[in-house]
Amino acid sequence: MSGAQIWYDEVLHQDYRQSLRIETILHREQTAHQDLIIFENKRFGRVLALDGVVQTTEGDEFVYHEMLVHMPILGHGAATDVLVVGGGDGGALREVLRHRAVGRALLVEIDASVIEMCREYLPGHSAGAFDDPRAEIVVADGAAFVAGTERRFDVIIIDSTDPAGPGEVLFSEAFYGDCKRCLRPGGVMVTQNGVPSLQGAEVTNSHKRLGAHFADVAFYLASVPTYAGGVMAFGWASDDESLRETTLDGLASRYAAAGLETRYYNPEVHRAAFALPNTVRALLG
C-alpha cells in the first residue's frame, strides 16, 4: 500500500508492478496458509488478493472462469464428473454447475478461510454453487488429494495461485501425473498457467511436465485485465487429440444444448483461443 491515497501494490514481479486503489478494506487476515485481503476498488469492484497478488475481481472474473471451465467441458462434450483443485472463491464451481449434464462437481481447496471469506464478501463469484446438491467441498491439499484418491473424473480443472507458496506443488510433474491417473479415458485437464509475457517459464515448464504424461498438450489464451502483463495462458492436456479439434459446428451445438449465456466465451472464441502468437510458440520449444 502506498501514496496519499491507499493503493494495493501487487508484488508478483521484481521489475514490474500494478496498483489498484483501495476504496475500503473489507477484510484482512493471515490465514493458516497465506495473507488474505478483500477490498473495494472503484473500477473492478471487490478484489481478492493472496500473498500480495491479485487473484480475482468482481469486474473481470467472468473472463477467467468462463475460459477455465467451458473450454474443457464443451471440448469434452460428455462430462458428468468434474474436479476443481483450488478455486476457493467459487467462480469455477459456479461455471461448472451451469452445465446441467454435470452430476457431480468436487472442489478441493487447501485454505478454508478463502472459501469462508469469499462466501461472505464475494458472494457473486459462487452465486450459490457451494450449496448446490451436486457440489462437494473438501478442504485439503489438492496435490495430496489427487495422489491418494480412487475417484475418477471426466474433467480436471486446476484453478491455482501462481507457482509459489501453497500453489507451487500444483505445477509439478508428479502432480500432473497424479491428475492423469484420476482422469477417465478420454478426459481432459486444464491449468492456470500465468501471463506468458512476464511468466514465460510457467508455460515452458508446464509444456514439458504435462508432455511427460499426456499425448496431446496445448495452450490457449484469454485476456484478463487485472492479471498484469497481457493475455493469460491456460494449459490443456488429454490423451484424445480429437477433443481439441472439435469443429465450430460441434461446439456451437454443445453450447446451445447446454443453454449457456456467457459474457466472454463463445464457440468462435473457443476455436481461436488455441491460436498462439509466435512469442508464445517459442516458449514451447
Type and span of the H or E element at 91: helix 91-97
Question: How far is the C-alpha of 266 from the C-alpha of 180, rounded, in Å?
Answer: 27
Residue 179: which of 201, 202, 154, 204 has the closest Cα? 154
Residues assigned a catalytic role: 159
Question: How far is the C-alpha of 243 from the C-alpha of 20, rounded, in Å?
Answer: 39
Beta bridge partners of 230: none
> Residue 168 gets which letter from DSSP?
G
For cell 450449496, the residue is 131
Question: How far is the C-alpha of 19 from the C-alpha of 2, rounded, in Å?
Answer: 9
Residue 189: which of 228, 229, 142 has the closest Cα? 142
Tell me how far CA of residue 132 lies from CA of 25, 76, 123, 164, in angstroms: 30, 23, 14, 31
